[in-house]
Amino acid sequence: MVEVVVGALVRDRRVLLAHRRPDKVAYPDVWELPGGVREEGESELEALVRELREEVGVEVDVASTTHLCRVEARPVAEPVVLSAWLVRDWQGTPANLAPEEHLDLGWFGLDELPPPANVDVRAALVRALTS
């Protein structure tokens, strides 16, 4: 089973989303939280820190993270365990460092969120931002 971590970088009640390329097998052409596959030997948090560094160029302040949810997703034939994290503090300015994965990055308020890649992750994010 593939394990994936994603991070919701939040500033001023806006969340950073990445627009996946239309040629991606899983969740093509949708806006989603940045992240990626957990490598062998990594904890979820270690994978989150690495993936956000690689994809959007930020250094996560681990003390500012909160686990949002863990869900099983089936974007392709093999099931995926998707673990989502809320990230309230980081160093650096987010940029699209993975153009082979994403077309663009964008900041969205709760009333502007595009259709979700995963409704359970979206629900957990909205609960966290409205509580």
Boundaries of every domain in the chain: 2-130
Global pTM value: 0.93
Over the stretch 56-96, which tens digit does the pLDDT of each residue have?
999 999 999 999 999 998 766 778 899 999 999 999 999 99
Identify which of 5, 12, 3 has the alpha carbon closest to the alpha carbon of residue 68. 5
**What is the CATH superfamily name and number for domain 2-130?**
Nucleoside Triphosphate Pyrophosphohydrolase (3.90.79.10)
